[in-house]
Amino acid sequence: MTGRTAIASRGAARKERAERERGQFLFSRWHLILIPVAAVMLIPMVWMLVTSVQTLNETRHFPPDLLPHTVRLRNYTDVLRQAPFARWFVNTVIVTVVSVAGNLLFCSLAGYAFARIKFFGREIVFLAILATLMIPFQVVMIPTFIIVKDLGMINTLGALIVPNLAGAFGIFLLRQFFRTLPVELEEAARIDGASRLSVLFKIILPLSGPALATLAVITFLWTWNDFLWPLITISSANNMTLQLGLTTFQGTHQTSTNLLMAANVMSMLPVLLLFFLAQRYFIRGIATSGLKG
Amino acid sequence: MADVAFENVSKEFTGGTRAVDDLTLDIPDGEFLILVGPSGCGKTTALRLIAGLEKPTAGTIRIGADMVNGISPRDRDIAMVFQNYALYPHMTVWRNLAFGLKERRTPKREIDRRVGEISSILGLDELLKRRPAQLSGGQRQRVAMGRALVREPKAFLLDEPLSNLDAKLRVQMRAELKRLHQRLRITTVYVTHDQVEAMTLADRIVVMSGGKALQVGAPQEVYRRPDSLFVAGFIGSPAMNLLRGRADGSRVVAGDLAFSRPGGVPGGDVVVGIRPESLAPAADGRPSAELEVDLVEPLGEATLVHGTVAGTAVESGAEEEKEILTPRGARAQVTAIFAAADQPAPGDRVRVGVAPDRIYLFDLATGAAIW
């Protein structure tokens, strides 16, 4: 870069930054709607956070206090002491990480086959897979349970992982993305001597970062927050995930709301962190799928 | 390096489109062969058949001694340059060049040597660390050629490699390609719809239409002795002027152009073909016609003169020759190339003549050349 263009581009960058900063303080009409909506969305979060540092008695106050009188951080240590919270956390991480990895791998393979390889019955099979997206989980819950039981995996982490290693949504998402990549790239690679698998792993996947990230983020969220399936397959406290474990704070006669909320805050942290890091992939995933995010 | 051969090859796509129709063609080792024709003539499909990206529905394709019909692209040891280059966007130039060698498990030192060699031949040394997005069109084109050549393939396939370049770069790269081929002597099959590229680059050209090879020959030969009306109309720029005429055994009349042929002409409806460069202001007793000039395009050394003559123009189409009546009644649009000194003005009426041996005759019904 010559000296003059360097200065010019630095000047342009400064101007652009100044404009952006000015823009931040501009109040647009949209803020009249966005601020109240954001506030409404935030109230449960704040309430949860406040409750998590209150005493049990304070939590029963009505109307609820949104400003804490005390800050009882002992709730958090109590959670860790009273329940195998760390164990649940590790279980959830294992289930989530393996499910995400499985989805990335198997949905890539299937998505690529549906996108590029011609085989008999391809369209029919693909439509059948798509159709499963329209069947609510509650319908297939019992059959899946029976299969998992026959595999001898009830009450193990395997029950949570194996049925979720690949999904119709992931196959669909990746197939759609792979189809947008220029076919010539693959043809060039095949002429260069790459096998189908080489083409997928060395050419297609490195170019599919956005789609893979979207799938990873969405699978993470689904798996992390899943409650119903762990509820019916896991019975021993040792194999519970966070979402299931949290319910143990809700007793039949008494609920330790403050401890429940402290546990909740901790279980939400990874999701919040992920959301901040990967916001645009959430939005893209929800936009492309039109499904729950 | 190897020769490539088509033996009665046909390719029919699902849906019944016959892209290549009973093509038989021998491409000797080291030849630069160009497949040329209008879009949809089957030339790209023919190329993809050699590459193995399409499977023939009939016939045999050979590379060297091997019949390759059932062999996958990766095992054919050919290289291809795509129209849009198809460089791997996530790899540096170096990795783009080395990809094929790595996939074939070439030893590291050999990869370094060959990539180094090809990048210096193509002048890519400075660009090896860049990614395709950081390259200009000409540079990408060079990388695409390098990626193909670095493997020292049996045959080198190019699918309209220059069509995405601007005019100046295209001429430059065209010369470079020819130089490269003279140096490396790899069997090359090159697809283009640009007949200037075909004329300038090829050892032999194949004019294709409707999936068939209409004429195969050296560029000059195809230019001088087109077998058919289609080839005559396709090769040459500006295109050959084609007028409807009538032969009565010895004389041929087309509008106010009349001439006879020493060997005689079978009677019937004919098409008279005259290349623009064969037309000149008439001063002698050569066959001539009156040209009413309507547009003049000076090119510097020569001048393109467009105008009309009495008669009916014929357009050579892919399937059948159809008559085109020009808007101004029974006058036919023609183009001539004059020397700059002879430049007329629009509206002028000029007598243009042509040497009798530079007039082509074709049968109107079949399009076949009459010699």
Res. A112: pLDDT tops 90? yes
In chain A the first and final C-alpha atoms are separated, in Å, by: 45
Residue of B nearest to A187 (CA): B53
Bridge partners of B188, per DSSP, are B32, B156
Residues A35 and A177 in one domain: no
Could you report the per-residue pLDDT of B35-61, keeping only the tens digit for each?
A: 998 888 889 999 999 999 999 999 999
Q: Cβ of B80 and A187 within 8 Å?
A: yes
Residues B147/B94, Cβ–Cβ less than 8 Å: no
Q: What is the DSSP pairing of strand B32-36 with strand B187-192?
A: parallel
Res. B295: pLDDT tops 50? yes
Which amino acid, B175? A
Cα within 13 Å of Cα(B245), Cβ side: 32
Residues A183 and A72 in one domain: no
Res. B275: pLDDT tops 90? yes
Task: Please tell me the total number of residues recorded for chain A in this structure.
Answer: 293
For B271, phi and psi rounded to 5 degrees? -115, 130
For B170, phi and psi rounded to 5 degrees? -60, -45
Q: CA quadruple A239, A243, A249, A252: dihedral positive or negative?
A: negative
CB neighbourhood size of A19 (10 A) = 9
A18 — pLDDT class (breaks 50, 70, 90) = low
**Does any CB of chain B come closer than 8 Å to the CB of residue A232?**
no
Residues A108 and A38 in one domain: no
Residue of A nearest to B79 (CA): A191
- Separation in Å, CA of A183 to nearest CA in chain B: 9
Residues A133 and A239 in one domain: yes
Could you report the per-residue pLDDT of B179-214, keeping only the tens digit for each?
A: 889 988 899 999 998 888 888 899 999 999 888 899
A chain contacts of residue B92, beta-carbon cutoff 8 Å: none
Bridge partners of B61, per DSSP, are B6
Dihedral class, residue A130 (left if φ above 0, else alpha if ψ from -120 to 50, else beta): alpha
Helix axes A209-225, A257-277, angle to 10 degrees: 180
Query: How many Å apart are CA B284 and CA B362, to the nearest integer?
Result: 26
Residues A77/A143, Cβ–Cβ less than 8 Å: no
B238 — pLDDT class (breaks 50, 70, 90) = confident
Res. A8: pLDDT tops 60? no
Could you report the per-residue pLDDT of A54-95, keeping only the tens digit for each?
A: 888 787 877 877 777 778 888 888 888 888 888 899 999 999
Query: Which of the two residues, B162 and A4, has the higher pLDDT score?
Result: B162
Residues A227/A137, Cβ–Cβ less than 8 Å: no
Which amino acid, A115? A
Nearest residue, CB atoms, B100 vs list A184, A193, A195: A193
Distances in Å between the Cα of A15 and the Cα atoms of A1, A11, A23, A167 are 20, 6, 12, 47
Question: Quick one: average pLDDT of B322-330?
Answer: 48
Selected for mutation to probe chain A from B44, B45, B53, B85 (highest A CB count within 10 Å) is: B53
Residue B174: both structure tokens together? 């065209």
Residues A230/A77, Cβ–Cβ less than 8 Å: no
Distances in Å between the Cα of B238 and the Cα atoms of B22, B183, B334, B335, B337 are 31, 32, 10, 8, 9
Residues A169 and A215 in one domain: yes
Which amino acid, B226? P
Task: Please tell me the total number of residues recorded for chain B in this structure.
Answer: 371
**Percentage of residues in chain B with pLDDT exceeding 70?**
95
Burial of residue A39 (number of CB atoms within 10 Å: 0-12, 13-18, 19+)? exposed
**Does any CB of chain B come closer than 8 Å to the CB of residue A182?**
yes
For residue B158, what pLDDT is reported? Answer: 93
B chain contacts of residue A200, beta-carbon cutoff 8 Å: none
Query: How many Å apart are CA B286 and CA A217, to the nearest integer?
Result: 82
**Does any CB of chain A come closer than 8 Å to the CB of residue B86?**
yes
Residue A270: both structure tokens together? 């990874």
> What is the residue range of A98's domain?
83-289
Nearest residue, CB atoms, B82 vs list A188, A202, A203: A188
SS3 B19: strand
Nearest residue, CB atoms, A188 vs list B52, B86, B90: B86
For residue A223, what pLDDT is reported? Answer: 93
Residues A11 and A101 in one domain: no
Contacts of B96 (CB under 8 A, 6+ apart): B87, B88, B132, B143, B147
Question: Quick one: average pLDDT of B206-235?
Answer: 90
Bridge partners of B201, per DSSP, are none
Q: Cβ of B53 and A191 within 8 Å?
A: yes
Residue of B nearest to A190 (CA): B74
Res. A108: pLDDT tops 50? yes
Computed over every residue of chain A, the mean pLDDT equals: 84
Last residue of a domain, one of A52, A78, A104: A78
In chain B the first and final C-alpha atoms are separated, in Å, by: 39
B chain contacts of residue A194, beta-carbon cutoff 8 Å: 74, 99, 103
Residue A121: both structure tokens together? 């019955």
List alpha helices for B185-313, DSSP H. 195-201, 219-224, 229-234
B233 — pLDDT class (breaks 50, 70, 90) = confident
Bridge partners of B251, per DSSP, are B260
Residues B94/A184, Cβ–Cβ less than 8 Å: no
Residues A25 and A134 in one domain: no
Residues A43 and A165 in one domain: no
**Does any CB of chain B come closer than 8 Å to the CB of residue A189?**
yes
Question: Quick one: average pLDDT of B224-242?
Answer: 89
Selected for mutation to probe chain A from B13, B14, B76, B80 (highest A CB count within 10 Å) is: B80
Question: Quick one: average pLDDT of A248-275?
Answer: 83
Last residue of a domain, one of A24, A54, A78: A78
Question: Quick one: average pLDDT of B91-99?
Answer: 93
Residues A230 and A121 in one domain: yes
Examine the predicted complex and report whether its ipTM is higher than 0.85: no
SS3 B322: strand
Helix (H) and strand (E) counts in chain A: 16, 0
Evaluate the omega torsion of the peptide bond into residue B356 and state whether it is cis, within 30 degrees of 0: no
Query: How many Å apart are CA A67 and CA B330, to the nearest integer?
Result: 96
Residues B82/B159, Cβ–Cβ less than 8 Å: yes
Q: Cβ of B80 and A191 within 8 Å?
A: yes
Distances in Å between the Cα of B279 and the Cα atoms of A152, B275, B353, B357 are 91, 7, 6, 12
For residue A201, what pLDDT is reported? Answer: 94
Q: For Cα atoms A217, A218, A219, give the angle at the middle one, nearest 5 degrees.
A: 95
Last residue of a domain, one of A40, A57, A78: A78
SS3 A290: coil
Residues A61 and A46 in one domain: yes
**Does any CB of chain A come closer than 8 Å to the CB of residue B149?**
no
DSSP string, A102-161: HHHHHHHHHHHHHHH---TTHHHHHHHHHHHTTS-HHHHHHHHHHHHHHTT-TTSHHHHH
| Element spanning B37, H or E | none
Which amino acid, B17? T
Nearest residue, CB atoms, A192 vs list B53, B84, B99: B99
Q: Cβ of B78 and A191 within 8 Å?
A: yes
* CA of residue B1 relative to chain centroid, distance: 24
Contacts of B208 (CB under 8 A, 6+ apart): B35, B36, B37, B41, B42, B43, B46, B214
**Does any CB of chain A come closer than 8 Å to the CB of residue B13?**
no
- Tell me if the pTM is above 0.90: no
Residues A200 and A115 in one domain: yes
For B65, phi and psi rounded to 5 degrees? -90, -10
**Does any CB of chain A come closer than 8 Å to the CB of residue B114?**
no
The string over B179-192, giving b where at least 16 C-beta atoms fall within 10 Å of a residue's C-beta and e elsewhere, is: ebbeeeebbbbbbb
Residues A149 and A227 in one domain: yes
Considering its fold, how many domains does chain A have in total? 2
Closest CA to A92 of A245, A286, A254, A282: A245
B chain contacts of residue A207, beta-carbon cutoff 8 Å: 89-90
Res. A209: pLDDT tops 60? yes
Residues B270/B252, Cβ–Cβ less than 8 Å: yes
B110 — pLDDT class (breaks 50, 70, 90) = very high
Burial of residue B35 (number of CB atoms within 10 Å: 0-12, 13-18, 19+)? buried
> Which DSSP symbol is given to B318?
S
- Separation in Å, CA of A58 to nearest CA in chain B: 57
Res. B262: pLDDT tops 80? no
- CATH of residue A232's domain is 1.10.3720.10
Q: Cβ of B79 and A189 within 8 Å?
A: no
A chain contacts of residue B104, beta-carbon cutoff 8 Å: 193
**Does any CB of chain A come closer than 8 Å to the CB of residue B79?**
yes
Residue A208: both structure tokens together? 């599919």
SS3 B136: coil
